[in-house]
Amino acid sequence: MLKKIFLPVLLVFVLVISGCVKTKSEVEEGTKPGNDGKGDQSKVTIELLGMSTNESDLNIVRDQLVKNGFDVKLNMQPDYGSFKSQQDAGNYDIAMTGWTTVTGNPDYAVRSLFKTGGDYSVISDPELDKLIDQAGTETPEEYEATYKAFEEHLVFNKAYIVPLYSSYKTQAVNKDVLNLDSVRLSKSRSLPWEYIEFNYTSKNATDPLVLSQSASTLTSLDPIKGNDGSINIINTNMNVRLVNLTDDDQITSEGSLSLNHSIAEGNSEYYFLLRDDINFAKVEGKNAVDSGERVGSDDVIFTLNRAKDKDSVPDHRTYTLHEHIKNAEVVTDLASLETIKQSGSDATVKEMLEEGLDTKISALVDDKTDANNKEGKYQVIKVTTTEPFPQVLNYLAHQSAGIVSKKQVESINTFDVASFDVNKDIPYGDQNTVTEGSQYNNTLYASGPYILTSKNDYEAAFKKNPGYMKGTENEPKISNVTMRFIKDPDSTLAALRNNEIHMFYAVPETKYDIIENDSKLSLQSMESNAVSYLSFNPENREVSESEDLRKAILYTINQDDFISFYKGNKLKAFSTVSTLVKTGNELNADLAKAKEYLAKYKETK
C-alpha cells in the first residue's frame, strides 16, 4: 500500500500551479475523482501536480489522460517551494517526480524511494522490501533477475509509479574561455571543479571560474543534512570522500582521501589506505586559509558514525544511505593485513593497499599526526558492514559521506539533538552562517578542494583549499569559483552566450540546437541516471487505494510522445533502476487495458 511521507526531491521534482494552499479539510472535500464541481461528472478527474519548469511534460501527460477519458485539473507551481506546499497539503493525485542515481549503484536507485521507511518513500510493501534487501547483497551477475522482479511488482503488479523517460546528462562549455579537455562529464558524479582550467593558464590564479545553479537557498552545508540539487555539487567539491566514481561509474581511489582500497573475502570488510597530504581549510576574512589540521582516521570514523546514525543531527536526511555500516575503526596491526585475502583474488589486503605506492607500508599509526607516507607510515581504516554489501562503496562515494572535521563539528554542535530548538540553536553547516549580513559567522572546515567563503541572494564565492594535495595532479587548478544563482534556463543560456558564466550544467533538450549553433560553445552529453516518473498521492485520494485506477493511468501514458517531443533526446524507462540494470522490462501504452481498468474502477464506485 501507499503510505504518506513527504518527498523532498533529490534532483528534480516536477509540477505545479499558482494559488493559495488549501487547508486539510478543503483537500479532503475535493478528494473524490469528479468532485470538483466542474466538467463531465461521468469522467474521473485527476489532479496533476508539477512545476512550471516542466510545463511541456505536464501538458503531454494531461493530453494523454484527456484523450483516454479523464478530466485533468492541472496544478502547476512556479517553483519547488510552492510545489512542496501543494504536495504537503495533499492537493494532487499524481505528481511529476524525478530521481538521479548519483552514486551509480542500483540500490541507491530504489532503497530511499521504495523501501518502507525510506527517506523519500511513499510505499510500504513487504514484497518490495524483500527484493530490495536481497538485491543489495548480490553481485551484478546475480541481482539482474532480482531487480527485474522488483520492477515488475512495482510497475506491472501494483502500479505504484508511472515511468515517463530517462534523460541525457549535458553541460555546455565556453570553449573560448575554458580548456575543454579539463572539463569532465560523469554519468553520476557531480562536476569536479579541481581539474578545470582556463585556456590561458595564467588566469587560473586570478580569474574566477563562473558557474550557475537555479537554487539560491542551500539546504545545508553539513553533508549528511541534505541530498538535493541545491547542495549536491557544492558539498561534493567541499568535502573529500574515501572513494570516488569514475566518469563511467566505477569505484576508484583517484582524487579521494584513499591512496588505495581493498575488499576482503566475504564482502563485509573494506580497507582504505589514507593519504597524508590533505588539511582542512577554514575561512578568515572571507579568505580560505590552511587550518593546520590534517584530515585523518579520527575524522573518517566520526564522519561515518554520524552518517549512519539517524539521531546524530536534527533533520538527518541521508542516514538510510549508510545504514549498512556496522563499524568504522583504525587498523594498527600491520601483520593482520598480510593474512586477509582480497575478495576474488589470491592477493592479500596488504598487497592491494600497497599497489602503485612509491613507499611500501612499514608501519600503521593510530594518530593522524604521526602518519608520514614518504617514510612508509600510514593510516588504514576498516569499515565493516552489517552483512555482505559491496554497494557500500558507492555510498561512500556519495557527497553525504564527505569527511568533516571531528574537532570543528563537535565544537559547533554543542546542543542536545533531542531538544534542538531551531529558534536558538545554530548547527554546523547552517547556510545563514555563510550568508552576508548580520548573521555571517563562517565556521566551515572543508576537507575538499574548495571552501565556501560567503554567499548572498545572487551568488556564492568559493576559494581553493590551500592545504589540498599540494603539488599533485589533484591540486585545484583555478583558485576562485563563483556560483551564480539563476532560476530560469533561458536566462542561464543568455548568461552563457554573453560570457557572464562559463558553463551551463544540465542543459534542457530544447536548448541543444542553440548551443550547437554557437561557435564558441561546446555541448557535452551522455546517457544519465536521471529518470522522470509520476508518483501517486499516498493518502486521501482514490489513487491511494485503487490499484485499478492507478493501472488505468499507467497504461494511458505513452513514452513515445515524450521521445518525439524532445526529438529523440529522451530514452525509455521502466523504473529508477532502468539506467543501471538492463532487466528487459518495458512499458507500452495500451488503451484497451487502460479502459478495462478504468471500467473496473468505476464499477466499485
DSSP E strands, 141-248:
161-174, 208-213, 244-245
| pLDDT tops 50 at residue 379 | yes
CATH architecture of 239-419: Alpha-Beta Complex (3.90)
Cell readout for 128 is: 518490495
Please answer whether residues 324 and 385 qualify as being in contact, where contact means their C-beta atoms are separated by less than 8 angstroms: yes
SS (H, E, C) 254-285: CCCCEEEEEEECCCCEEEEEECCCEEEEEEEC
pLDDT tens readout for residues 189-217? 999 999 999 999 999 999 999 999 998 99
> Taking the alpha carbons of 550, 556, 560, 566 in that order, is the dihedral positive or negative?
negative
Residue 263: Cβ within 10 Å count? 21
For residue 307, the cross-strand partners are: none
Q: Which residue has the higher pLDDT, 158 or 83?
A: 158
In angstroms, the CA 350 to CA 576 distance is 38
Q: What is the pLDDT of residue 29?
A: 41
Going by pLDDT thresholds of 50, 70 and 90, the confidence category of residue 2 is: low
Going by pLDDT thresholds of 50, 70 and 90, the confidence category of residue 172 is: very high
Please answer whether residues 185 and 248 qualify as being in contact, where contact means their C-beta atoms are separated by less than 8 angstroms: no
Side-by-side strand order, sheet with 480-485: 208-213, 480-485, 459-464, 450-455
Please answer whether residues 156 and 567 qualify as being in contact, where contact means their C-beta atoms are separated by less than 8 angstroms: no
pLDDT tens readout for residues 263-316? 999 999 999 999 999 999 999 999 999 999 999 999 999 999 999 999 999 999
The DSSP secondary structure of 96-132, one letter per residue, reads EEEEE-TTSSHHHHHHHHHSTT-TT--B--HHHHHHH
Amino acid present at 467:
G
pLDDT mean across residues, the chain: 91
Given the C-alpha cell 584530515, which residue does it identify?
A: 295
Long-range contacts of residues 356-361, Cβ cutoff 8 Å, at least 24 apart: 356/260, 357/259, 357/260, 361/273, 361/334, 361/337
In angstroms, the CA 452 to CA 441 distance is 12
This prediction's pTM? 0.84
| pLDDT tops 80 at residue 354 | yes
Q: What is the pLDDT of residue 1?
A: 52
Report which DSSP code applies to 182.
G
CA distances from 4 to 133, 150, 326, 537, 592 (A): 21, 21, 29, 8, 31
pLDDT tens readout for residues 487-533? 889 999 999 999 999 999 989 888 999 999 999 999 999 999 999 99
Please answer whether residues 94 and 160 qualify as being in contact, where contact means their C-beta atoms are separated by less than 8 angstroms: no
In angstroms, the CA 484 to CA 408 distance is 28
DSSP element (H, E) containing 463:
strand 459-464
Going by pLDDT thresholds of 50, 70 and 90, the confidence category of residue 229 is: confident
CB burial class (10 A; 0-12, 13-18, 19+) of residue 245? buried
Q: What is the pLDDT of residue 317?
A: 87
Cell readout for 541 is: 485520494
239-419 shares the fold of 169-217+435-441+449-527? no
Give the ranges where 218-354 is alpha helix by DSSP (H): 232-238, 297-308, 334-337, 349-354
Q: What is the pLDDT of residue 11?
A: 37
Q: Which residue has the higher pLDDT, 561 or 10?
A: 561
In angstroms, the CA 577 to CA 101 distance is 8
User: 169-217+435-441+449-527: which CATH topology?
Assistant: D-Maltodextrin-Binding Protein; domain 2 (3.40.190)
In angstroms, the CA 85 to CA 89 distance is 6
| pLDDT tops 60 at residue 157 | yes
In angstroms, the CA 365 to CA 333 distance is 9
CA distances from 535 to 38, 120, 415 (A): 24, 11, 37
pLDDT tens readout for residues 414-435? 999 999 999 999 999 999 999 9
Q: What is the pLDDT of residue 137?
A: 84
User: 24-166+528-603: which CATH topology?
Assistant: D-Maltodextrin-Binding Protein; domain 2 (3.40.190)
Report which DSSP code applies to 346.
S
Q: What is the pLDDT of residue 41?
A: 56
Q: What is the pLDDT of residue 465?
A: 98
**Structural domain boundaries of the chain?**
24-166+528-603, 169-217+435-441+449-527, 239-419
Please answer whether residues 442 and 433 qualify as being in contact, where contact means their C-beta atoms are separated by less than 8 angstroms: yes
